[in-house]
Amino acid sequence: MKAGKIRPLALCVVWRGAEILVMEGHDSSRNLTFYRPLGGGIEFGERGMEACAREMREELGVEMLDLRPLGMLESIFTFENTPGHEIVLLYEGRFADPALYDQEVLIANEDDATIRAVWRSILDFDQQIAPLYPVGLFELLIGDDDDGALPA
């Protein structure tokens, strides 16, 4: 991430019942493990939905179906003692290959690094067991109503 630059991102939320697929990240400067949906940077001339599908193909080698916009969040944060600023376009979709939902851990590749993607209950983030980023994603996923209902 370049200092002083705003980075556009497209992230993909994939549901398995009341669980979402998230990558495990770690900020060693704060000794903090956190979770975030998979996805990445939007390239010049690329639409967010295209970036979302491309990133899932690049990171997991999977094709996505039924991608639809969920919303947008602005994220201003510090990671490894470096300030960051992202505009995050969020999409929801499902795997073309249903067998992927049977895997508890998926291994993703990003920038020559291996990333572990796991299914986590959305309730884990309500109980603040570990942070879900970007900030505001949990509230967006559960909706504004107070009935506690989860997506089907």
Threshold 0.85, pTM exceeds: yes
- Note the pLDDT tens digit of each residue in 48-72: 999 999 999 999 999 999 999 999 9
* Residue 29 pLDDT exceeds 70: yes
143 or 104: whose pLDDT is higher? 104
109-126 burial code (b ≥16 CB/10 A, e <16):
eeeeeebebebbebebbe
Spatial separation of the C-alpha atoms in residues 35 and 5, rounded to whole Å:
23
Is 65:57 a contact under the CB 8 Å cutoff?
no
pLDDT at 21: 97
Which residue bears the tokens 């979770």?
A: 35
* Residue 3 pLDDT exceeds 70: no
pLDDT band at 1 (very low <50, low <70, confident <90, very high): low
Secondary-structure percent of the chain, ordered helix, strand, coil, rounded to 5? 20, 50, 30
**7-142 carries CATH number 3.90.79.10:** yes
pLDDT band at 11 (very low <50, low <70, confident <90, very high): very high
* Residue 110 pLDDT exceeds 80: no
Domain ranges of the chain: 7-142
Cα 88 to chain centroid distance, Å, stands at 10
pLDDT band at 147 (very low <50, low <70, confident <90, very high): very low
Which residue bears the tokens 């940077």?
A: 41
